[in-house]
Amino acid sequence: MRCLLVEEEVHQFSNLVKSLSGEDVSKCYQCGKCSAGCPIASEMEILPNRIIRLIQINSKDTVLSSSTIWLCVSCETCFTRCPEDIDLVTVMDVLRRLSVEEGYRCPEEGILRFNRFFLASVKNYGRVHDLGLIVRRNLASRQPFKDLGQGIALFRRGKIPLRPQGIKGVDQIKGIFAKSKPFVEREASGGGGR
């Protein structure tokens, strides 16, 4: 009986990840192909295959507070090459959303902030307004002149419109933002699962 209880506890995090992503990380046998092909691996404190191992052994805090989950650039190389067909990109998405939902500190603040500014632009105008986005990013990160040279060069070529392009359906977009939840609401299956 005791063993059963412990086993349930041990699988708590991998079960949560499975219910939210549909991916069974217990299939991973640590071949390491995901990390071998990952273009960002050299910048990661914990390699992608180790993230999977940490999920398997229930190390939730380590995973959700790691910079790795934010440094995944969603290039899909890992998923493409995984011999067990584990969609690690979707798993990373789930880990990022979980980390925000559960209030973990994000070690890559700039990325999280950029995502928010990007989505605010989409919500307000229906499309992304590059100039507004970069100005907000630079002000928030206190680097007002970051990428200024590139910005001016692009502007001179007429590639950075001053004003945002609005769309007619902007109210519908605002509605989509208001209704969207971090995870899809599933039918009475108790917290998701595909």
**Residue numbers of the site for another protein (CB under 8 A)?**
39-40, 43, 71, 73-77, 79-80, 87, 89, 93, 96-97, 100, 108, 110-111, 114-116, 118-119, 122, 126-128, 130, 134, 137, 147, 149-150, 153-154, 157-161, 165, 167-169, 172-173, 175-177, 179-187, 194
What is the DSSP-derived secondary structure letter of residue 187? S
Closer of 50 and 151 to another protein (Cβ): 151
Q: Which is nearer to another protein, 58 or 65 (CB)?
A: 65
- Nearest approach in angstroms of CB 180 to another protein is 4
Nearer to another protein, 47 or 128 (CB): 128
The smaller minimum CB distance to another protein, of residues 6 and 27, is found at 27
Choose among 85, 17, 19, 87: nearest CA to 57: 17
> Which two three-digit tokens encode residue 62?
């380590």
